[in-house]
Chain A
């Protein structure tokens, strides 16, 4: 059974800092690893999707990497801004459980002005 964990559970940083969010998964037979953003009381906003054949994806100030062999993904946020404050979820889609996503518990990020 796939299990996804995220470290840290919460993070508070001053504006402008670069930061790294970590995601680990137990079943390396994945075909997609996706990072989402969730604002309080809201739905999910897709940030980056990394297919199993890829090692990283970039969008603006965000960069996500994937290392299937070690069961890890990281989300790098450059020059953080108060608007980046949200919960960041990683989720894995794997060959052993259909098209469903297995989500991590999330990292709650606060960027202080």
Chain B
């Protein structure tokens, strides 16, 4: 079945540094990828939607200059948390959809646990 690989699974960084999270579709072309954020004991909240070759669309309240999303190829999207602060510590999950439109299932990565010290 379709697999989405997310890397790294865990990362600890110091405040002020930047962290890059990768989301790869391994056996299909992902025209659209979604990035979610999950705080402890809360549900997943959509941060942004990225389409290959175009700028990401950010949800209200998400700082696009802080959470840089690049979807440069049909198999890779990256989320970079710039100048990370402790409040950015969270669980980030990506999902990917192929070009089949609404009939295409979404496939989720296993998530990245970010801890900013």
* Chain A residues with a Cβ under 8 A of chain B: 31, 41-44, 46, 49, 89, 91, 93, 95, 98-106, 108
Interchain CB contact under 8 A, A105 and B108: no
Evaluate whether A89 and B104 lie within 8 angstroms (CB atoms) in the complex, with A41-B113, A100-B34 already known.
no
Cα distance, A46 to B113, chains bound together (Å): 20
Interchain CB contact under 8 A, B110 and A105: no
Cα distance, A42 to B91, chains bound together (Å): 9
Q: Is B89 an interface residue (CB 8 A)?
A: no
Surface stretch bound by A, among B11-19, B42-50, B70-78: B42-50
Looking at chain B's contact residues, is the secondary structure mostly helix, strand, loop, or mixed? strand
* Chain B residues with a Cβ under 8 A of chain A: 6, 32, 34, 36, 41-46, 49, 91, 93, 95, 97, 101-102, 104-106, 108-111, 113
Cα distance, A95 to B102, chains bound together (Å): 8
Can you name 17 extra interface pairs (CB under 8 A) apart from A43-B108, A89-B43, A100-B49?
A41-B91, A42-B110, A42-B111, A43-B6, A43-B109, A43-B110, A44-B93, A44-B108, A44-B111, A89-B44, A93-B106, A99-B34, A99-B97, A99-B101, A99-B104, A100-B34, A103-B36
Interchain CB contact under 8 A, A104 and B43: yes
In the complex, what residue of chain B is closest to A95 when comparing beta carbons? B102
Q: Nearest Cβ distance between residue B56 and chain A, in whole angstroms?
A: 13
Cα distance, A106 to B43, chains bound together (Å): 6
Cα distance, A95 to B103, chains bound together (Å): 11
In the complex, what residue of chain A is closest to B32 when comparing beta carbons? A99
Q: Nearest Cβ distance between residue B112 and chain A, in whole angstroms?
A: 9
**Chain B residues, Cβ within 8 Å of A93:** 102, 106
In the complex, what residue of chain A is closest to B46 when comparing beta carbons? A100
**Chain A residues, Cβ within 8 Å of B91:** 41
Cα distance, A49 to B103, chains bound together (Å): 12
- Interchain Cβ contacts under 8 Å between A and B, 22 examples: A41-B113, A42-B111, A43-B93, A43-B109, A44-B111, A46-B108, A91-B44, A93-B102, A93-B106, A95-B102, A98-B32, A98-B49, A99-B34, A99-B106, A100-B46, A100-B49, A101-B34, A101-B44, A101-B46, A101-B106, A103-B44, A103-B45
